[in-house]
Structure 1
Amino acid sequence: MALIAIAADKGSPGVTTTAVALAAVWPRRVLLAETDPSGGDLVYRSSAAHGGPLDPNTGMLSIAATARRGLAAEQLWDHAQPMSGGLDVLVGLGSSEHAAGLAGQWPMLGHSFAALADSPYGAADVIADCGRIGADSPTAELLPHASLVLLVARTEPENLARVRDRAAALANRLHGAQRGAAALARTLIGVVLVADPGNSARITNQVNDMLVASRTGARVIGAIAHDPSGADQLAGRKRGRLDKSLLIRSARKVSGDINQQFGVAWAAPAAGAAGTVGR
């Protein structure tokens, strides 16, 4: 099992929607972590399992208040709460000002997220919504602990150019001159495109060719459908058959491809339920 970090280079391409959608259909037990230092969105767009609002003080904020004394992986569950639908979440910080409380703790958090895979008490994968990342982003310190970093991008030419450059910069930062066993264990970098379903196959092949030609070390993992209606259903703003939405159907395809390609290495069993959206 693994830590999967999801991020973007610039703008708002749909990182949170992608992270929630993948977590909702993930085939093993999963903990969704909102680690965007600019602040989380789920307390505003989603409800708790009991029907009321999510508690903004239980999650990354409560971790910031207690983790200076250390954080065992299984303690993450003390700060999690179930969303409507049953997905467990560490809700994000209320604002960028709160991020100061986690200064110096991001590497420890990354270690705890990754170690949850092997915890004897509630083992799970962690999908971390890292928001926008750059050279000075504190959440970049999570990434060396991730098994897979997914960069989310829309398909406009300027966005594709930026994700290509960000992938190359991340590969240099994370991998450097690694050789031998270190190279085999290094963090993988993938790209997930948010695309119109009718054009996703064509644009996926084109972007993958660009990444290969640029020698970024990254590959396109798949495409998430640009589906505003499905996103509204996922956030609870609209009624409908979420499991039949283009968003969830495409998320299920991406999730399946990730686990087919990398799942053998993440195969340690975990207790508990898998994703929350019916198959």
Structure 2
Amino acid sequence: MALIVVAGDKGSPGVTTASVALAASWPRRALVAECDPHGGDLVYRLAADHGGPLDPNRGLLSIAIAARRGFEASALPQHVQRITGGLEVLVGLGTAEQAAAVSGHWPQLGRCFDHYASIPYGADVIADCGRVGPDSPVLEMMPYAALVLLIARADAEQVAHVRDRVNGLSNRLHGNQGSSASLARPPIGVVLIAPPKEARRAASQVGELLSVTAGGGEVLGVIADDADGAAALNGRGRARVDKSLLIRSARDVALSVTRRYGLLKVEPQAGQAPGLSQVPGHNQGQGHGQPFGHAVGA
């Protein structure tokens, strides 16, 4: 199991939506950790599995308070909440001002998430890090990741920015690992957001652009630019989330990424779609989805 960092550059590429979609489609148990130092959105977008709102004080902020006395991965479930459908989330900071509470703890969080992925009741951690720049504090968490995914929309401006960010991150993360970017760890990949009919062309064009850069990033997949699916995922639509183009494309990306980087050791059971019961709003006819055999925080 692994820590997967998901981030973007300038603009609004849809990092949070992509993170939730990937986690809901992940072929193993997954936790969305909202690590955007500028403040999180999940508490405003999604409902808890009991039907009420998520608790804004239970998540990254409560971890930061607990970390003053030391923090272990085994305590992480105390700060995790479930949303409708059963997906587990670690709610982020309410405002950018609260980022001071986490200052200095980002390496510890990286180690915690990496360790959580390997303990018996743990999960792969999909860390939504929002927009990252050269001075972003979440860079201190990235060395503990198994993979860094940069999200970008397939337009010229965002592609140019993500190309520069790949190079910048490679210099920061791989600077002392030698000259072969393809062997450096953690690997850096790009996931594009594009209309379904343009997915293949966009992946090819952006892939060619990245292939001549020094950072070694490459396009690992395309998530559908699906406004209806995104609205339903965020609790604002009536569409079947699990049947949406957004989730179907995210599932393809999740399977491709986990297989490519050796993160997938246990295949989904026959006849069961990966992550189906975790999709927000998905209901299999017996109340809210409960894909896991224990109660978080119990």
TM-score tier after normalising by the smaller chain length: over 0.9
Query: Percent of counterpart pairs with the same letter?
Result: 56
In the TM superposition, residue 215 of structure 1 has moved relative to its aligned partner by: 2.7
1:52 has 2:52 as partner: yes
Give the 5 Å matches for 1:131-142: 131-142=130-141
List per-residue Cα deviations over 1:169-213 (Å, max 9, x = no partner).
101110113149xx8571010001110110110110110111011
Taking structure 2 as the reference length, what is the TM-score of the superposition? 0.87
Q: Output the CA distance in 1 between the equivalents of 2:70 and 2:192.
A: 36
Structure 1 79/92 Cα, relative in aligned 2: closer, same or farther at 3 Å? Answer: same
Aligned to 2:89: 89
Aligned to 1:159: 158
Q: 5+ unaligned residues in a row in structure 2: which ranges?
A: 268-273, 285-298
Q: Output the CA distance in 1 between the equivalents of 2:239 and 2:152.
A: 27
Aligned to 1:68: 68
Give the 5 Å matches for 1:102-121: 102-120=102-120
In the TM superposition, residue 156 of structure 1 has moved relative to its aligned partner by: 1.4
Question: What is the identity, as a one-letter code, of the residue corresponding to 2:265?
Answer: A
Question: What is the identity, as a one-letter code, of the residue corresponding to 1:64?
Answer: A
Question: What is the identity, as a one-letter code, of the residue corresponding to 1:145?
Answer: Y
Conservation of the 8 A alpha-carbon contact between 1:39 and 1:94? yes
In the TM superposition, residue 118 of structure 1 has moved relative to its aligned partner by: 1.6
In the TM superposition, residue 266 of structure 1 has moved relative to its aligned partner by: 5.5
Conservation of the 8 A alpha-carbon contact between 2:40 and 2:95? yes
Q: Output the CA distance in 2 between the equivalents of 1:159 and 1:173.
A: 21
- Where 2:193 maps in the other structure, the secondary structure is strand
List per-residue Cα deviations over 1:229-268 (Å, max 9, x = no partner).
1001001111121111110111011011111201x35538
1:267 to 265, 268, 279: 265
Structure 1 266/116 Cα, relative in aligned 2: closer, same or farther at 3 Å? Answer: farther
Conservation of the 8 A alpha-carbon contact between 1:28 and 1:124? yes
- Where 1:31 maps in the other structure, the secondary structure is strand
Question: What is the identity, as a one-letter code, of the residue corresponding to 1:216?
Answer: G
Conservation of the 8 A alpha-carbon contact between 2:177 and 2:184? no
Q: Output the CA distance in 2 between the equivalents of 1:155 and 1:29.
A: 29
- Where 1:186 maps in the other structure, the secondary structure is coil
Conservation of the 8 A alpha-carbon contact between 2:27 and 2:264? no
Q: Output the CA distance in 2 between the equivalents of 1:85 and 1:79.
A: 18
Give the 5 Å matches for 1:220-231: 220-231=219-230
List per-residue Cα deviations over 1:90-137 (Å, max 9, x = no partner).
0010000111001100000001001112213x1210000000101111
Aligned to 1:202: 201
Aligned to 1:128: 127
Moved over 3 A (4+): 265-269
1:144 has 2:149 as partner: no
Q: Output the CA distance in 2 between the equivalents of 1:143 and 1:157.
A: 26
Conservation of the 8 A alpha-carbon contact between 1:117 and 1:268? no
Q: 5+ unaligned residues in a row in structure 1: which ranges?
A: none
Question: What is the identity, as a one-letter code, of the residue corresponding to 2:60?
Answer: M
In the TM superposition, residue 220 of structure 1 has moved relative to its aligned partner by: 0.4
Taking structure 1 as the reference length, what is the TM-score of the superposition? 0.93
Aligned to 1:187: 186
Conservation of the 8 A alpha-carbon contact between 2:116 and 2:122? yes
Conservation of the 8 A alpha-carbon contact between 1:118 and 1:268? no
* Number of aligned residues: 273
Aligned to 1:26: 26
